[in-house]
Structure 1
Amino acid sequence: MMRNFVRNVVAVLALTGLMACDGAIPRTGPTKDEVFESSVQRDGDTYIVVVNRGIARAAEYTPPLGFSASFRNAPVLQPDEIRPGDTLGMMIWENVQEGLLEVAGTPAPLTQIQVDGEGKIFVPYAGRVTAAGKTPEELRDELSQILGAQTPDPQILISRTAGDGATVSVSGNVGAQGVYPIERPTRRLSSMLARAGGVTIEPEIAQVTVLRGNLSGRVWFNSLFQTPANDIALRAGDRILVEADERYYVALGATGRQSRIRFESQELSAMEALAQVGGLSTLTADPTGIFILREEPEFVARRVTGQKTLQGAKQVAYIFNLTSGEGLFAARNFTVRDEDTIYVTEAPISQFNKAVSAVFGSLTTVASVQTIAN
C-alpha cells in the first residue's frame, strides 16, 4: 500500500511539474506549429510555402549584377587622342640657319607642354592652339601649317604622355592600388586590373565596381572573362573598386551554429547553407520543420503562392521536409539569397525532454525515484 502511494505521489508531482513548466521551457525559438499560426491561412501576415522542386524553380531569382548599356556601348578609346591634362613632348626643327625657334641648328626646347583645362596649348609664334580631341599627327599637321607661314618647312615631332586627363584609379583588393594611365594595352577593365597586380582575394567572391560620374555598375570578377560584354572600355576619370562579396544569411534554431554567415560562393543552395553551419542538431532538430524566411518581390510572391492578384512585396516562409527524397532534392535546388534567415525548429520530443529535465533533471532521475519507491 505504502509503495503504491509513493509511486502515485511521484506521478502526480511529475505531471504537476510539467504543467507548471508549460510556456517556460528554454528553447531556441517558435515551434513549427507556432510558425504556422502566423500564416496568412490563419489570419497572420506570412505566406507559408511548402518547398518542392517546382517551388524551388519558381522562387529562383537573383538580383542581377552587370553594367548598363551606357557602360557596355562605350567604344574603346583611341590611346593617341590628346585630352585636357595630358602632357605633350614636342621638338621643332627649322630648315634655315637662323630660325624663329632654333639657336644654331638646335631644335626648340619645347620638351614638356601641359594641355590646359580648355584643351589648349601655347606654342611660340603659333599662339594658343586646340590640342584636345586630336591625335599627335593631326596636331603636328596643324602646327606645320601655322608655323610654315613664318619659317620654311618646319619639322615637328610630337609625342603624347598620358597625364591627368587619361587616367583611372584602382583600389580595394588588388595587388597595387594607384592611379594608372589609359594606354593601348590597358584600354579595357580586365587589362587595367591586371596592370594593377590582379585581384588578391578568391576570384569566386570578388566583385568589381566601376564609378563613372554619377553612374555605377558592378559585376563578378569572373564574368569579365565569361561574358566579354562586361569587359568594358575605360574612360578617363573612372574609379575601379575590387571588394569581396558582402552577402550574408543568418542561421538560427537547432543548427550546429547560430550566427551571421558570409556567402562563400556566387550561388548557395539551402542544403549547402545548412552544411556550412554544421548541419542540423542531432539531439533537438525537427527535420520536417526547416524554414527559410525572406521578403519576396511581388512577381516572385505571385509565382510561389499561385495568387496572381498579390500586390507589393510579401513575407514568405519556405518550409522544407528533409525526411523525404523530394524535400532533399528541393533543398539542393533552392537558392539562398542575401539576408535570408534559415530557422530550424526543435522536435516535439526535445521539448518534452526539456520539460522532464526541468522537473527531475532527467528521465533517469525519475526512474531512480520510482526505484526507491519500490
Structure 2
Amino acid sequence: MNFRAVIAVMLLAVGMLGGCSLPRGGPIASEIVGNSTQDDIAIERVTRTSARDIQKWPASGWHGHYHWFARQSGPGNRIIRPGDLVTLTIWDNQDNSLLLGPEQRSAPLRPEEVTLEGSVFVPYVDNIQVNGLTPQEARRVIQDRLTPIAPSAQVQIEVRSGRRNSADLVSGVRTPGSYPLPDRNVSLLSLIAQAGGVDESVENPLIRLVRGDQSYEIPMDSLYKDPAKNVILRGGDQVIVDEEERFFLAVGSTQKEEQVFFHKEHISAMEALAILGGLVDTRANPQGILILREYPESAVRADRTGPPMRHMVFVFDITNADGVYGAKNFQIQPSDIVIASESAVKPAQAVIALAGSLFAINNLFD
C-alpha cells in the first residue's frame, strides 16, 4: 500500500466520521437532548437534590407501590370461624347434675358445626355466638352461660377447622388446589410449600392474595426477604402466583439491550445499569445516560410538584459523585426507556487508530 492509498483511506474515514455514518449501537446524547425544540418534551439533569424531588412526583406506569398488609409480629391466636367443628366435654362432680347421668363425671357432646351466623348449640342454653373468639374465649363464654343451671360444671372445648376454612392456590404452583387451614397459623409461604413451591416456568413471580373484595400483591423476592410480610391466611383466601408484568427497555451502549422485568419493587438507575452488565467501555458516554419517560397528562405540574411536561428526558452524568448519587436515588418506572448514549469522541479515536494501523502496515511494505 503506497502513501497515496493511506491518505485516501484516511480521508474516507474522516468523511464517514463527519457524516456520522460510522456504525453505531446507539444515539449520541446531543442528538436527543441538544435539539430539544419540541414544546412537549422537557430535559431534566439529575443530581442528588433533583432525584429527591423527582421521587415525589406522581408515579408513571403503575400506582407507585405494592398494596400489601401491615407488618405482623407473628402468627395470631387461633380464631373460631363458621364451618369449624366444636366439641364440648362437660365435667361435673355433683351426683344430681342436670347435664350428666348417674355415676358420670364427664360427658362429651356431639360435635357441632359453627353456623353461618357464627353460633353453636349447647343443651339447656341454646345458641351461643363463638365466631371470632379464640377457643379459650369461647370456653369462658359457654362456661358463664352454663353456670346458672350447673354451678359446679366445667367446660372443655376442642375446635377443628371445618370445610369453610381452606385457602385456594389458583395458579403458578406445582400442585394448585384447595388446602385446609388446620390451626389458624398457616402462613402464605407454608401454603405455597404445601403445593410444591412456585412452578419453575414462572419467572420473577408476583404473589396476589384475594381476600373478600380486596386484592393484595407482593413480589416473591420481597416475601422471602421480610418475614413480617409472610401473612397468616384466612378461610376463603385465594392465592395466585403470576409473573411480574412491569418492565423497562434498555438500548444503546450497555452490554445488553433488552426488555428487563422488575425482580423487586424498586430498581434505581444505577441498579438498572448493573443489571444490563454495565457500559461498553469502547463506545459508551458515561456523561450521557438517558432515561425517557412518559407521564399521564394529569401528573403535569408547573410548580415542580410534578413533571413540567408529559414527555421527560432525564440525563445522568456518572463521571462525578453528584451524578452517581443522583442515579442511585432515582427510581426506574415501568415502561421507562434507558439509553446509554454513544461517545462522540471514541469513534474519532477509532479512526485515528485505524489511520495509525495503516501507516504501520505501509511501513512494513516500504
8 Å CA contact 2:25–2:252 kept in 1: the answer is yes
Structure of larger gyration radius: 1
AA at the equivalent of 2:315: I
Q: Deviations over 1:272-292 (max 9, x none)?
A: 332332221111112222102
- The answer (yes or no) to whether the contact 1:58–1:300 under 8 Å persists in 2 is no
Cα distance, 1:298–1:326 mapped onto 2, change above 3 Å: farther
Identical residues among aligned pairs (%): 26
Which residue in the other structure is 2:314 paired with? 318
Q: How far apart are residue 254 of structure 1 and its match?
A: 0.6
Q: Hey, what does 1:114 align to over in structure 2?
A: 113
Aligned ranges for residues 96-245 of structure 1 at < 5 Å? 110-121=109-120, 129-133=127-131, 135-142=138-145, 157-166=156-165, 178-181=179-182, 183=184, 186=185, 192-193=187-188, 210-218=209-217, 220-221=222-223, 225=228, 235-239=234-238
Q: Give the counterpart letter for 2:275 in structure 1.
A: Q
Instruction: Give the conservation status (yes or no) of the 8 Å contact 2:65–2:265.
Output: no
**Higher RCO, Cα 8 Å, sep 6+:** 2
> What's 1:52 paired with?
47
Show CA shifts across 1:235-254 (max 9, x none).
54344667897654332111
Cα contact 1:77–1:234 (8 A) shared by 2: no
Q: Is the 8 A contact 2:10 2:355 kept in 1?
A: no
The one-letter amino acid paired with 2:337 is T
| Unaligned ranges ≥5, structure 2 | 199-203
Structure 1 residues 57 and 161: alpha-carbon distance in aligned structure 2, compared to 1, 3 A threshold: same
Within-5 A mapping of 1:1-374: 10=8, 14=12, 18=16, 22=19, 26-36=23-33, 39=36, 42-61=37-56, 63-67=64-68, 79=78, 82-91=80-89, 110-121=109-120, 129-133=127-131, 135-142=138-145, 157-166=156-165, 178-181=179-182, 183=184, 186=185, 192-193=187-188, 210-218=209-217, 220-221=222-223, 225=228, 235-239=234-238, 247-263=246-262, 267-296=266-295, 302=301, 307-308=303-304, 314-349=310-345, 363=355, 367=359
Q: CA RMSD in A?
A: 5.5
For residue 331 of structure 1, report the CA deviation from its aligned partner.
2.8
Which is further off, 30-39 or 50-59? 30-39
Count residues in correspondence. Answer: 338
Tell me the secondary structure at the aligned position of residue 275 of structure 1: helix
Counterpart Cα distance in 1 of 2:307 and 2:86: 61
CA distance in 1, matches of 2:27, 2:210: 45
Q: Contact 1:182 / 1:234 at 8 angstroms: preserved in 2?
A: no
Amino acid at match of 2:55: E
Distance 1:47 1:244, change over 3 A: same
Alpha-carbon distance, 1:126 to partner = 5.6
Q: For residues 192 and 23 of structure 1, do their structure 2 counterparts lie closer, same or farther at Cα, with a shift above 3 Å needed? A: same
Distance 1:169 1:239 in 2: 5
Report the TM-score, using the length of structure 1 for normalisation. Answer: 0.63
Letter in 2 for 1:345: S
1:342 partner letter: V
Greater share of helix? 1
- Contact kept, 8 Å, 1:253 with 1:344, in 2: the verdict is yes
For the Cα contact (< 8 Å) 1:93–1:102, is it kept in 2? Answer: no
CA displacement, residues 166-194 of structure 1 (integer Å, 9 cap, x when unaligned): 555678999999432454xx3xxxx8357
